[in-house]
């Protein structure tokens, strides 16, 4: 399962990918430093894995990028072609509209919204959601219904016209919501945790298809088989910083480092 | 037959006034439904937004001798601006902060009316305010019809909101703010917007109440209004547009119309024990409904019906 | 200097009960994360209990005070067991708990009128002596109230900070599960805390009541200010509440020396709203997403 290395980035020129540049980013909770990264670029390759032991700061790093957690110091910049935007100065919803989107490690859902609601919410544009546009529903459904249905057809929801019931369904919904935003860079925080193997494979296939269309992925995953098979580059994090990066083969070759943190049998 | 007619409509003035009150509570309840039931904003200052409209209307009409329509516009704007400011304050507060801020806004309105006697009349009162038209004996009936119309429009709007992308945005904001934000929804602006819009509606209802009472006193805007509206909405079902209507019928309708008009209570009982008992029952209803049937009489939103009715949007 | 002295003396003597009430409300807020609107009625009933003991049994004001504190504490525990514990167990949401407590507040405020009557009730205490300090007049009641409140606030503070019970309360507030594992009886600790909170509220009500009268709206009229003091000062623990309470009293009296009383209250409320806004959700930084 190490064929992931040479995948072409969907016909785009290698320099055309949006990247996230992280400089001097730190975050502490109490007297414990959770993230301390001097310099890191994410998104240069189509699929980048982020691995490391529990408490290495992977999830916090992703939250810092999305600004759902505020950094103590440092900057996060989105570089897209010639434009540069300082993400660390924007409110979270603006970051998402610039094409940087994240799925959640802890299952998140809107109580009271059905599966369709949740997905229509994701696709609806700001001008569809104005208080006086009370007859806009048909328009939103007609322009995005097909797309939503195509995602729903990929998976078996127990009640596609009702609510998401299981944690697994909510997890899938979280990923689909993010894909509907057509992100440039999708941050995935353990997207397949708790999903059965066949569904995990389906999710990865779906993500591959999106990557082929030009989307970049940064994935945190405990199931290292997913990482080895899917990523072009792997960043190994420990104690708040990236201590090793390279393609999966390179990381696996440094088995002493990896095993020191993750225990034996992972490489 | 005529005996029945006399029994039911023998005191039309009281019946009409009771129905005015009922319509006010229903209208405010529908607006509170959009704030609390849909967007999750616990507004405990309903009386303040409504009162700001009522007094803005009165001041325009009495102190500045302005016509009906401009006065109603000012009343609406007064509620709206107050809602806008309140929305800005509460946009990043949690529920305790929202409670404090909305109560404080209502208290400020009350204190301002009490304090600025030169333009509000203070405790002496402000009046008189008359109906903008006169069709003889039927004037108050006509006003009631207009109120029915206004409440009908509010109900129609609330139902449309549930069937629109806007409503979905409000529900998402109310149930999981961080998640909505991560889906590029501007939740703060959404909250400020919904507060401004619905509070403008409360202000307008306040303005429409002016001609009914003719004379305005600060004591008309006590917390009792807020409690009645919250009780009606919670009892009927805070998540449903019709909740306030059902709840108001069961509370205000029962107490202020049915019992007051049709149950022969001795006068001293009507003066003290009756209103006190009413409040006790309102309080008990709030506790019991929220503990044991939190979504009230009508229950939860039925979003799935809406999804299945794709073709009927 | 004269102005400052006046503002401080008036502020502290007139608003001393506010500090006590806010400490009580803050205890419940910090432990159970509940803003209890019905705390207003704990205050009101404190005044009624004291008045009742004072008049019906001819007890001195100080004895009535002690009994009123105990009764208000018991009442507070009863409301916890009957209402808030049920809400906790049924997983009622935060806004709904506030509305429930509003319902309880309305229920108690009107139910007490059936017990104590609709009219205001007055204490039978010897008329207070009038005193002067730095040219500021106040009554002997206000002075004793102030001294008693200082003593009570100190005792309260020591209770929470230094005693075993206080430690358990704080342990329970910071991590309920851990506290249970380490052998703390959560129900008993919670009840002790609600009792203390109720007693503080009841005493505050008694002080307010003896200065004017016991009436149904007594607690509700002072609820908003108490709540704002708790929200603004509470983040820094009881010390913050004490400081915020005293600061509020002094600020309010300073404003009242300069402008009309009603306008002074408006300015104070606007100031509180701005503080709330500026402080924002600093304490909710750990977002889930």
CATH of the domain at B162: 1.10.3470
**Is A125 a member of any domain?**
no
Residues of C within 8 A of B276 (CB-CB) are: 110, 113-114, 118
Residues of B within 8 A of C269 (CB-CB) are: 104, 107-108, 111
Contact B93 C35 (CB under 8 A): no
Q: Is the Cβ–Cβ distance between B70 and B271 less than 8 Å?
A: no
Backbone angles phi, psi at B242, to 5 degrees: -85, -5
ipTM over 0.90: yes
Contact B160 A135 (CB under 8 A): yes
Answer whether C177 touches A (CB < 8 Å).
Answer: no
**Euclidean distance between CA atoms B193 and B83, whole angstroms:** 9
Side-chain half-sphere of C80: how many Cα atoms within 13 Å? 25
**Is B75 a member of any domain?**
yes
**Is A135 a member of any domain?**
no
Chains in contact with chain B (at least 3 beta-carbon pairs closer than 8 A)? A, C
CB–CB contacts below 8 A, A to C:
17
**Which residues share a beta bridge with A50?**
A220, A235
Answer whether C289 touches A (CB < 8 Å).
Answer: yes
**Euclidean distance between CA atoms B226 and B232, whole angstroms:** 10
Mean pLDDT of B249-269: 88
Contact B280 C111 (CB under 8 A): yes
- Give the structural domain span for B149: 14-312
**Is B244 a member of any domain?**
yes
DSSP secondary structure letters along A220-236: E-S-HHHHHHH-SEEEE
pLDDT tens digits along A108-139:
899 889 999 999 999 999 999 999 999 999 99
Which residue from B minimizes the CA distance to C84? Answer: B291
In percent, how much of chain A has pLDDT > 90?
64
What's the predicted TM-score (pTM) here?
A: 0.92
Which residue from A minimizes the CA distance to C282? Answer: A70
Answer whether A69 touches B (CB < 8 Å).
Answer: no
Residue A6 has a pLDDT of 37
Option in A93, A131, A137 nearest B184 (CB): A93
**Is A267 a member of any domain?**
no
**Is A136 a member of any domain?**
no
B89 min Cα distance to partner chain C (Å): 5
Give the number of domains in chain B. Answer: 1
Domains of chain C in sequence order: 2-281 (1.10.3470)
Residues of B within 8 A of C86 (CB-CB) are: 291
Contact C288 A102 (CB under 8 A): no
**Is A158 a member of any domain?**
no
From residue B26, how far is each of B33, B99, B193, B223 by CA, in Å? Answer: 10, 22, 22, 16
**Is A178 a member of any domain?**
no
**Euclidean distance between CA atoms C23 and C42, whole angstroms:** 13
Residues of C within 8 A of A69 (CB-CB) are: 285-287
**Is A206 a member of any domain?**
no
Mean pLDDT of C273-277: 92
**Euclidean distance between CA atoms A221 and A5, whole angstroms:** 18
Is residue A87 classed exposed, middle or buried when 0-12, 13-18 and 19+ CB atoms within 10 A define those classes? Answer: buried
| Three-state DSSP state, A40 | strand
**Is B26 a member of any domain?**
yes
Element (H, E) at A3: none
Nearest to A8 by CA among A43, A44, A46: A46
pLDDT tens digits along C177-234:
777 777 778 888 889 889 999 999 999 999 999 888 999 999 999 999 999 999 998 7
The domain that holds A43 is classified in CATH as 3.40.50.300
pLDDT tens digits along C12-62:
888 889 999 999 999 898 888 889 999 999 999 999 999 999 999 999 888
Backbone angles phi, psi at C91, to 5 degrees: 65, 40
CB–CB contacts below 8 A, A to B:
120
A238 min Cα distance to partner chain B (Å): 27
Q: Is the Cβ–Cβ distance between C32 and C197 less than 8 Å?
A: no
- Give the structural domain span for A96: 3-105+186-195+216-262
User: From the candidates B45, B185, B290, which should be mutated to test the interface with C, based on the most C CB atoms within 10 A?
Assistant: B290
Sequence-separated (6 or more) residues with CB below 8 Å from residue B279: B224, B227, C106, C107, C109, C110
Mean pLDDT of B82-103: 94
Give the number of domains in chain A. Answer: 1
Q: Is the Cβ–Cβ distance between A131 and B197 less than 8 Å?
A: yes
In percent, how much of chain C has pLDDT > 70?
96
**Is A240 a member of any domain?**
yes
Mean pLDDT of B298-311: 76
From residue A19, how far is each of A14, A43, A51, A99, B9 by CA, in Å? Answer: 11, 5, 19, 11, 75
Sequence-separated (6 or more) residues with CB below 8 Å from residue C60: C54
**Euclidean distance between CA atoms A147 and A115, whole angstroms:** 14
B43 min Cα distance to partner chain C (Å): 10
Strands A47-51 and A233-238: parallel
Contact B183 A96 (CB under 8 A): yes
Residues of A within 8 A of B193 (CB-CB) are: 131
**Is B2 a member of any domain?**
no
């Amino acid at each position: 399962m190490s064929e992931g290395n040479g995948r072409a980035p969907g016909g785009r020129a290698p320099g055309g990918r949006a990247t996230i540049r992280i400089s001097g980013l730190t975050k502490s909770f109490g007297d414990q430093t959770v993230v301390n990264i001097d310099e890191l670029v994410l998104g240069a390759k189509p699929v980048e894995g982020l691995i490391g032991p529990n408490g290495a700061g992977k999830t916090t790093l992703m939250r810092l990028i999305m600004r759902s957690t505020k950094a103590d110091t440092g900057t996060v910049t989105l570089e897209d072609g010639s434009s540069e935007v300082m993400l660390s100065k924007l409110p979270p919803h603006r970051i998402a509209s610039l094409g940087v989107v994240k799925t959640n490690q802890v299952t998140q859902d809107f109580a009271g919204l059905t599966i369709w609601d949740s997905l229509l919410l994701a696709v609806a544009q700001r001008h569809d959601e104005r208080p006086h546009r009370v007859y806009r529903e048909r328009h939103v459904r007609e322009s995005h219904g097909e797309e939503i249905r195509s995602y729903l057809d990929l998976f078996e929801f127990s009640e596609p016209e009702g609510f998401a019931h299981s944690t697994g369904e909510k997890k899938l919904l979280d990923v689909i919501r993010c894909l509907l935003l057509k992100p440039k860079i999708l941050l995935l925080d353990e997207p397949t945790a708790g999903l059965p193997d066949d569904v995990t494979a389906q999710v990865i296939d779906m993500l591959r298809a999106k990557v082929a269309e030009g989307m970049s992925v940064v994935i945190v995953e405990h199931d290292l088989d997913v990482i080895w098979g899917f990523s072009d580059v792997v960043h190994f994090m420990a104690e708040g910083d990236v201590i090793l990066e390279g393609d999966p083969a390179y990381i696996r070759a440094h088995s002493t480092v990896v095993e020191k943190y993750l225990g034996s049998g992972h490489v | 037959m005529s005996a029945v007619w006399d029994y039911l409509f023998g005191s039309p003035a009281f019946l009409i006034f009771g129905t005015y009150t009922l319509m006010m509570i229903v209208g405010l309840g529908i607006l509170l439904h959009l704030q609390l039931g849909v967007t999750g904003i616990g507004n405990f200052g309903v009386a303040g937004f409504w009162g700001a409209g009522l007094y803005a209307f009165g001041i325009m009409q009495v102190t500045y001798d302005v016509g009906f329509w401009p006065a109603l516009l000012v009343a609406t704007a007064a509620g709206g601006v107050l809602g806008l400011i309140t929305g800005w304050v509460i946009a990043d507060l949690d529920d305790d902060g929202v409670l404090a801020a909305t109560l404080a806004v209502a208290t400020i309105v009350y204190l301002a009316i009490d304090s600025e006697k030169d333009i509000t009349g203070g405790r002496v009162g402000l009046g008189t305010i008359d109906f903008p038209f006169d069709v003889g004996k039927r004037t108050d009936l006509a006003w009631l019809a207009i109120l029915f119309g206004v409440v009908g429009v509010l109900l129609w709007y609330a139902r449309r909101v549930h069937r629109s992308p806007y409503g979905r945005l409000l529900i998402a904001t109310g149930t999981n703010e961080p998640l909505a934000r991560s889906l590029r929804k501007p939740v703060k602006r959404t909250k400020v917007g919904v507060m401004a819009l619905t509070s403008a509606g409360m202000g307008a209802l306040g303005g429409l109440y002016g001609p009914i009472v003719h004379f305005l006193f600060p004591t008309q805007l006590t917390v009792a209004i807020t409690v009645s509206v919250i009780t009606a909405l919670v009892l009927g079902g805070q998540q449903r547009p019709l909740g306030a209507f059902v709840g108001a019928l069961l509370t205000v309708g029962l107490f202020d119309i049915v019992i007051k008009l049709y149950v022969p209570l001795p006068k001293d009982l009507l003066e003290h024990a009756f209103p006190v008992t009413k409040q006790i029952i309102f309080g008990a209803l709030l506790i019991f409904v929220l503990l044991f049937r939190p979504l009230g009489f009508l229950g939860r939103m039925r979003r799935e019906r809406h999804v299945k009715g794709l073709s009927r949007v | 200097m004269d102005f400052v002295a006046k503002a401080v003396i008036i502020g502290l003597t007139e608003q001393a009960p506010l500090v006590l009430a806010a400490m009580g409300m803050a205890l419940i807020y910090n432990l159970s994360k509940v803003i209890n609107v019905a705390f207003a009625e704990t205050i009101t009933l404190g005044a009624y209990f004291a008045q009742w003991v004072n008049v019906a049994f001819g007890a001195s004001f100080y004895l009535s005070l002690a009994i009123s504190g105990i009764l208000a504490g018991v009442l507070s525990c009863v409301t916890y067991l009957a209402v808030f514990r049920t809400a906790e167990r049924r997983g009622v949401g935060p806004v709904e708990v506030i509305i429930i407590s509003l319902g309880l507040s309305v229920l108690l405020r009107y139910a007490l009128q059936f017990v104590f009557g609709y009219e205001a009730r007055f204490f039978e205490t010897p008329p207070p002596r009038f005193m002067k300090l730095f040219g500021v007049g106040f009554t002997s009641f206000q002075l004793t109230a102030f001294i008693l409140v200082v003593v009570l606030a100190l005792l309260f503070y020591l209770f929470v900070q230094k005693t075993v019970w206080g430690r358990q309360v704080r342990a329970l507030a910071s991590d309920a599960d851990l506290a249970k594992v380490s052998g703390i009886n959560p129900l008993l600790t919670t009840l002790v805390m609600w009792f203390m909170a109720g007693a503080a509220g009841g005493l505050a009500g008694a002080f307010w009541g003896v200065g004017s009268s016991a009436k149904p709206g007594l607690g509700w009229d002072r609820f908003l200010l108490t709540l704002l003091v708790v929200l603004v000062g509470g983040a820094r623990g009881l010390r913050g509440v004490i400081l915020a309470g005293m600061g509020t009293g002094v600020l309010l009296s300073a404003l009242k020396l300069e402008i009309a009383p009603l306008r002074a209250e408006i300015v104070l409320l606007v100031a509180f709203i701005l503080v709330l806004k500026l402080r924002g959700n600093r304490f909710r930084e750990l977002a889930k997403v």
